[in-house]
Structure 1
């Protein structure tokens, strides 16, 4: 079980942002959603999380149709998301940002586990100890991405959606991010990743879905997607040129 999107179409007037797209993100795996700019990736995330109503189609979480649920109700069912633009509480410290999410989870689910120990565990797990007491609005983007991930994990998601999480990260931060994502998936979480850093995508994803102009172009393993001529053409413009440069792009 996990997340399933079936036959989703989104129209904005005469513009079709998504055209009958289906995808699946299974628990225990990292699933990539890739495609050129404007392909419809963020629109798909908005449909999944309830920020955008589809023209047609359904969203299912753990075999339950959540298509009609408000975003906060989807979150309570186990869905967490990060955004392209950092959405941290700037006036709070790193530790406080994570603690807020842990405390909210505890209240909503009436768990016995206190927010403090959960926060401490995540600070250690994501190597945030050196900046734990630093205000979030003073952090560089790369570190902010790690804090946003920690805050999402404090909500104990069964499905984690990450929208360009490597943006602003340096090489070492991306490597650390990859390690955490693999560990999170191994714990049984379904991770759906939108990302332009193909090195990261190819290192962590078990399966990929490719969008182009709102349509699903391809689906398969990383190796299958790398070898797909339609994907090569979509990214590079000319399929015959892709053999020379695909390794640097996909």
Structure 2
């Protein structure tokens, strides 16, 4: 059962971004600081996902994209990869009913079909169950890498068009985020300041915000503060 946040999450003044993407970083460090196994940090990170997705809905953010598993994360120990897959299963099974009830439409970007067949079916069923919803969009990046996305988009465009017809709009039309609003804000937690192969094309004119908070400690208040920072920025898109 969802509950309303106990704080005001609607920022006062300034624009609310339509589309926010978050690089959820710092689970391992959060666990290490507490002398806990890394799995404990990932479990705490799932709780942060719940808090932030609920807060985003309250704020009126149209689309929230979360970087859950990158194409490079396969390099982690097999036990940790398995733990992450288990948490994904748990999140879908425990939170899908709430997402459906709250009129949230679930999307997945990335090659999640590389996962085990049971997990692929679980994701497919979750997407299908929320496909008819008309409210906020929650996009989860699973086995996602922006460079691979761009290469695939270029191949699809080249199969349809002559070379001289391939421009920015043609590439954008082949991206996995084509049905999402333009990306306004990227937040990365844990103090790291890089995009890590995440939404490279989409980030061309997005505002970037790097915060020191570790992901398991990120919450609705932190998101509201990030949105307030966004609202104070001047976005000129190359103009004056």
Q: TM-score, normalised by structure 2?
A: 0.28
Greater RCO between the two (CA within 8 Å, min separation 6)? Answer: 2
Higher helix residue share: 2
